[in-house]
Amino acid sequence: MNAVAVVEEREKLTKKALTADHPTWCPGCGDFAVLAAFYKVLEKRQLPHESIVTLAGIGCSSRFPYFVNTHGAHFIHGRAVPLASGVSLSRPDLHVFLFGGDGDGFSIGGNHLEHGARKNIRLTYVIMDNFVYGLTKKQTSPTSPIGYRSKTDPTGAIDQPVNPIKKLVAAGATFVARTHATQINHMMQMIERAMDHDGFSVVEVLSECVEFFPGAFDAGNPRKGGTFTVIDERKWDNSPEDEARHDVTDEMAAYRLASVPFPGLFGVFFEVDRPTKNALEGKWIAEAQAKFGGASDLEILQKTFDRLK
């Protein structure tokens, strides 16, 4: 009998297929644009639907997974990086996307962020930075500027804010970029480059909280009279003008660009190749399996426990 090849036709991944619940954000919230950019990137790239995972912590921005029809979870405040790390390490076949806010990422989750970055776990983390805790109705966040009046700083914030780019580069993230929620094409480019990066990739998106910090990012929005200055990256074309361009592998240059006063620069600050924990751990697991005659993870674990009895 002749074998009949069955070619399965995949349905095109459309915005409709990717849309879950209607977003519950306030009308005009910057997070809507981030969601729109994410849908567009997924539609453009046509990743297998079942391989996409969308994860988050807690916050307005962290409601993201509710609105995307993929595998996903809305987890504990600040614990999104460990959750995403576990998914990424145990299922290397999946594309792990993580979404969250400045509070979730830099306050309660700050330490987890550091460790995810230094371990270079393969995932893409989009931090929707609105310089405030939105969900809990206006507390000072680690990125709030000095002088910002909130419920926790009624006379104005007094603490030095975190510089997300410097923090991420210093922590060991291997791809660090910055964009603005009003610049949809740029935002898409940054998300695409982050997802193509093999390692811990982070995109900081300035995403306005229209309720508790209106106008916060007008200085970076040309339609509001601001300036959106994009980093001129090195092209390695041997031209004399290329010397002055930014080498994304130069850590010191990344810090210098990240020191430009607000609204700062937009684009890729840092991008280097370093082995991921996924690859290093994968090698280690393969070696252990070879030693145990091709046993499964569970069988190896059982054998190890048996030896301890």
Ligand X SMILES: Cc1ncc(C[n+]2csc(CCOP(=O)(O)OP(=O)(O)O)c2C)c(N)n1
Residue 101 binds Mg ion (CB under 5 A)? yes
What is the number of other CB atoms lying within 10 angstroms of the CB of residue 149? 13
As a whole number of angstroms, the distance between CA 175 and CA 194 comes to 7
Using only C-alpha atoms, what is the Rg of the chain?
21
For 15-169, list the strands marked E by DSSP: 52-56, 71-74, 95-101, 123-129, 132-133, 139-140
Q: Is the dihedral of CA 87, 51, 17, 41 positive or negative?
A: positive
What residues between 132 and 151 interact with ligand SF4 by CB under 6 A?
Answer: 134-135
Q: Which is nearer to ligand X, 122 or 133 (CB)?
A: 133
User: Do the beta carbons of residue 30 and residue 130 sit within 8 Å?
Assistant: yes
Q: Report in angstroms how near the CB of residue 207 gets to ligand X at its nearest.
A: 8
Q: Provide the token pair at 309.
A: 């009895």
Kindly state whether residue 87 participates in binding ligand X, applying the rule CB under 6 A: no
Does 72 help bind ligand X (rule: CB under 6 A)?
Answer: no
* The Cα angle at residue 277 between residues 126 and 142, in degrees rounded to 5: 35
Report in angstroms how near the CB of residue 106 gets to ligand SF4 at its nearest.
Answer: 15
Nearer Cβ to ligand SF4, position 52 or 209? 209
In the set 56, 58, 126, 268, which binds ligand X (CB under 6 A)?
58
Task: Tell which positions 115-134 bind ligand X, by CB under 6 A.
Answer: 128, 130, 132-134
Q: x/- contact string, 149-188, with ligand SF4 (CB under 6 A)?
A: ----------------------------------------
35 binds ligand SF4 (CB under 6 A): no
Residue 60 engages ligand SF4 in binding (rule: CB under 6 A): yes
**Counting contacts by CB under 5 A, is residue 31 touching Mg ion?**
no
The interface partner of residue 210, options being ligand SF4, ligand X, Mg ion, none and the CB cut-off 5 to 8 Å by kind, is ligand SF4
Instruction: Please select the residue that binds Mg ion; options are 62, 130, 174, 179, rule is CB under 5 A.
Output: 130
Cβ atoms of residues 179 and 187 within 8 Å: yes
Sequence-distant contacts of 86-90: CB under 8 A, at least 24 apart: 87/53, 87/55, 88/121, 88/122, 88/123, 88/278, 89/121, 89/277, 89/278, 89/281
CB of residue 296 to ligand SF4, shortest distance in Å: 45
Centre a 10 Å sphere on the Cβ of residue 118 and count the other Cβ atoms it contains. Answer: 15
Span of 109-117, 129-137, 173-181, 259-267 interacting with ligand SF4 by CB under 6 A: 129-137
Q: Which is nearer to ligand SF4, 134 or 263 (CB)?
A: 134
**Residue keyed to tokens 């595998």:** 71
Query: Residues 282-308, buried b or exposed e (16+ Cβ, 10 A)?
Result: eeeeeeeeeeeeeeeeeeeeeeeeeee
Nearer to ligand X, 65 or 134 (CB): 134
* 156/170 Cα distance (integer angstroms): 28
- Minimum CB distance to ligand SF4 smaller for 96 or for 209: 209
Nearest-approach distance from CB 129 to Mg ion, in angstroms: 7
Contact positions vs ligand SF4 (CB under 6 A)? 25-26, 29, 31, 60, 130, 134-135, 209-212
